Structure 1
Amino acid sequence: MTMKGSLLFVSSVVILINMVRGCPPKCRCHPFSKSVDCRNQGLVDIPSHLPAETQILLLSNNHIQKISQSAFTDTLALKILDLSNNSVSGLLPGTFKGLRNLQILNLTKNFIEYVDNRTFSSLPHLKELDLSSNNILSLPGTLGNNTWNITLLSLKHNKLQKVDRLLLESLPNLKVILFKGNYWQCNCQVFGLKLWLESFLYRGGVSDGVICATPGNRKGKDLLRIPYELYGICPHTVSEVHQANTHHYAEHRSSLKHGRHNEHGGDGSRAHCEPKPKPRPVSLRHAIATVVITGVVCGIVCLMMLAAAVYGCAYAAITAKYHRENSHSPPGKEKGSVEESKPFQSSMA
């Protein structure tokens, strides 16, 4: 009984100390490292009454679904926040408001579908942001006005099909970016990402690459290994076509006023409203045929030039031989020919 009483007294003292220091239930507070460990406790909300000096908060492997805007108002000194492997489905614009000292934010293995561009705007010292293993379908044009210090961004294992190049260019200090396990569409719209990624790797950046999911003929291929010529030109969007048609209508409104009789006579009036046909992408088959034909023509021209050169050399050799034989003919023969011609002339006389 004495031993049990001693243990009960000690545990009561520990609980009282934690309560005085502000350590919430189901959590372990470490004053020396200024950390609070609330992992694997089945929590459904962010614990309240956290010590104000907390710099490391570990909340992984719980059942937290929502994060209120006042969840971290008492822990403004926080530097590391681990919310991995929870059930967070959304992040409000003011979720991390006031955490100006936060440097590492881990949100992996949640159910986040959408990221607002104001969610991380209040984190000017954020360096590492891990959003992997969520259900993110798209990302905004930027992650916020104060996110230029991010050096690591993980987007692995989401449902992304594309990323705006402007978002990546708004992170000038980025050193590592991870793209693996998404549904990347390697069409004309991914051209900007390809250009940015080539420049990023050239500057010494680290990436696991973009592996295409669609279209079918590019599935499983590395984005960087697909030639530029195969992307083609993106067709005009609906808004672009609408603007073009509006401008076209404004230029010819006077002629349209005098052409109302065409409304009952056929499709003449509708021709002005039809968008221009979409530019067709570059055909690989036509490109290969053009290269083959060009090669055949060049080959024939080269053969003709070679035949002409051989003929010229042969003709020059024969001519040189002929002149050489005439220059070395016996002198007596020439004299005899002259002497033989004299009797013939005297007989004629």
Structure 2
Amino acid sequence: MDPVVCLVAALLFIETQSCPDVCSCFARKTYNSYIADCSYKELQAVPIDLPSNATTLTLSVNRITSLQEDSFLDVAELQALWLSYNEIRAVQKGTFAFLVQLRVMDLSYNQIGDFPWGDLSNLTALQQLKLSSNRLEKVPLEAFHTLRDLKSLWLSDNRLTVLSEGTFDSMPLLSQLQIHNNPWNCSCKSWWLKRWLEDTLVSISEKDSVTCATPEGLKGLVLGRTLQLDCMLPSVQLVYQSSLGNSVLHDGLTLLLHCRAVGKPPPELRWKIQTPSWNIAINGPNVEGEGDKVLADSKQSKERFLVFSNGSMAIPMFSKTDEGLYTCQAMNDVGSREVSVNVALASAESPTEDLLQNTIQASKPRTKTCDKEELLKPEEKVVFIYLTPVVPKTSNSGGTIWEAWPWGSLSLLSLLVLCS
């Protein structure tokens, strides 16, 4: 076909694309784009019959109050969507999910309080996202986890008080960030954000306006290098002992695990148990009281693993089915640390040969663990115990000495990772 005929046919196709009367639609051949400009029209809703080949849609400075799941169904090829300076309050889930070619989206200067964050998971080509000057109170941790091409993110002038650690980690190309003029809570929940702002190479607009709203004593202070927060990651240590021939328990052995944790704010404890029969997590105590009376009543208890308010856990009548990995996790607003012990009953004459066949898993923290200096050389302490029960003792240097009791029929092999 003659090239001139092809060009004419293409131009006729562009001209015959539908365009709402209230909008102006035109092609920019230089940029291979087709623009639908519907701005400054006092629109109260997204117009229908938008051109299906539109790559840019401008709806800024109107009176649109809501966006529906089908609002942009006819313009799936959009690369830029401008919706700033409207009155948008409600955005239905799925509104943006199919706009997979979108590179720029501007929803700034609206009244959005509940944003469909899940829609962003499909927008992997997005490079610029503007959500400033809205009513957002929270951003889910996974909100931006697929936006690896995102370069500019605007979240300023909202109602954000905290962000989850790792919120920005999945965006390696992020170069510009706006989070100023939010009512930041400068408790230990923002300890990670303070550290991140100090170290990041991302350009932070109006950094001096990233200030604390609470607590009262820090109100107005800049969340940055000069602000001192009295916070500390948990330091956690796991010690254990066993009891044979107990005057109360005559039918078996009770394994006692004790978790010691300190931090600011004081950490909460979670026990995680992985055995052939169990894979559970226990948050906080599940029995009342302490000591022998509780253990004596354990046969009537519905709980197999007894967790006390002081951080201890008891496994009455420990048996082969209870072998496995026992982990104590300490968590506070700063982060979490955990330490584990792998417990096994020895059946061979040489406990070492029997126990070394077990797969020992080093305890790895799930959030921020040791400080930077500690992360360079994590202290991994492997303790082999040939005779048990054992009594933990603390040396003058703060280390742990393991001393075997003169009797015992239980052997333990443990791997401890200590960060203190």
TM-score bin (small chain): 0.5 to 0.7
Alignment of 1:1-349 (within 5 A): 20-32=16-28, 34-200=34-200, 203=201, 205-209=203-207, 210-228=210-228, 230-231=230-231, 233-236=264-267, 243-246=283-286, 249=287, 252=290, 255-256=293-294
Alignment partners' CA distance in 1, 2:65 and 2:268: 38
Alignment partners' CA distance in 2, 1:204 and 1:159: 22
Gaps of 5+ in 1: 1-16, 260-271, 280-349
What are the superposed Cα offsets for residues 136-170 of structure 1, whole Å, 9 maximum, x if unpaired? 11111122442121111111111110111221112
SS in 1 for 2:105: strand
What are the superposed Cα offsets for residues 50-91 of structure 1, whole Å, 9 maximum, x if unpaired? 112211111011121221212222212211111111122233
Q: Percent identity?
A: 28
Task: Give 1:27 deviation, angstroms.
Answer: 0.7
Amino acid at match of 2:176: V
- C-alpha RMSD of the superposition: 3.3
TM-score by length of 1: 0.62
Task: Give 1:205 deviation, angstroms.
Answer: 3.4
Alignment partners' CA distance in 1, 2:182 and 2:125: 28
Alignment partners' CA distance in 1, 2:139 and 2:77: 28
Specify whether residues 170 and 192 from structure 1 end up closer, same or farther in structure 2 by C-alpha distance, changes over 3 A only. Answer: same
Alignment partners' CA distance in 2, 1:171 and 1:237: 31
Amino acid at match of 1:29: C
Specify whether residues 18 and 79 from structure 1 end up closer, same or farther in structure 2 by C-alpha distance, changes over 3 A only. Answer: closer
Task: Give 1:41 deviation, angstroms.
Answer: 1.3
Q: Is the 8 A contact 2:212 2:221 kept in 1?
A: yes
TM-score by length of 2: 0.52
Gaps of 5+ in 2: 1-12, 233-263, 272-281, 298-307, 312-331, 333-420
What are the superposed Cα offsets for residues 259-289 of structure 1, whole Å, 9 maximum, x if unpaired? 9xxxxxxxxxxxx7699xxx9xxxxxxxxxx
Alignment partners' CA distance in 2, 1:57 and 1:115: 20
Alignment partners' CA distance in 1, 2:114 and 2:80: 22
Give the structure with the larger strand fraction: 2
Alignment partners' CA distance in 1, 2:86 and 2:27: 26
Amino acid at match of 2:95: T
Task: Give 1:251 deviation, angstroms.
Answer: 9.7
Alignment partners' CA distance in 2, 1:38 and 1:56: 11
Alignment partners' CA distance in 2, 1:115 and 1:60: 18
Structure with max Cα Rg: 1
Task: Give 1:223 deviation, angstroms.
Answer: 1.1
Q: Is the 8 A contact 1:117 1:141 kept in 2?
A: no
Alignment partners' CA distance in 1, 2:60 and 2:190: 35
Q: Is the 8 A contact 1:119 1:144 kept in 2?
A: no
Specify whether residues 94 and 239 from structure 1 end up closer, same or farther in structure 2 by C-alpha distance, changes over 3 A only. Answer: farther
What are the superposed Cα offsets for residues 223-265 of structure 1, whole Å, 9 maximum, x if unpaired? 113455534512446999x82322xx38958623769xxxxxx
Task: Give 1:207 deviation, angstroms.
Answer: 3.7
Amino acid at match of 2:178: L
Q: Is the 8 A contact 2:156 2:180 kept in 1?
A: yes
What are the superposed Cα offsets for residues 174-206 of structure 1, whole Å, 9 maximum, x if unpaired? 111111111001111101111222221xx3533
